[in-house]
Amino acid sequence: MSMEVVNTVGRRKAAVARVYVKAGKGNITINQKPLETYFPLEIFQFVVKQPLSVTEKAGDFDITITMDGGGIKGQAEAARLGIARALCEIDAELRPLLKKNGFLTRDPREVERKKPGQPGARRKFQFSKR
């Protein structure tokens, strides 16, 4: 299987992950840093690697990710979506497995905007009768 670089995008909340997957031996780099440096917390490393561990492809690819915007959790989940989409492009047979685990669903929840005359999106200023 000769493959060139597969390029996908994953998004979550305000985070955008541009994912580049090529044949390799399992290195994951985010913004020129190794995964362990970029996400020091174990849980986020786990989230990023989920599509690979489920499909048992962890050692087959080198993954380069350009990360933009959002917070740490949004970024990790954006990376997960991008990797899952890339795996689908590489091997269509992985799709049902990834779909069953929910890795191909773009989580549509976004922050609701703040409204005028209120301190937050839903929160109202304290009401004073007198």
Burial letters 78-116, b for 16+ CB under 10 A, else e? bbbbbbbbbbbebeeebeebbeeeebbeeeeeeeeeeee
Q: Is 19 helix (H, G, I), strand (E, B) or coil?
A: strand
Q: What is the pTM of this model?
A: 0.87
Helix, strand, coil share (%) of the chain residues, nearest 5: 35, 20, 40
Which residue ranges form the domains of the chain, and what is each CATH number? 6-100 (3.30.230.10)
Q: What is the pLDDT of residues 69-123, one digit of tens each?
A: 999 999 999 999 999 999 999 898 999 999 999 999 999 999 999 999 999 999 9
Over residues 22-66, the pLDDT tens digits come to: 998 989 999 999 999 999 999 999 999 999 999 998 888 999 999
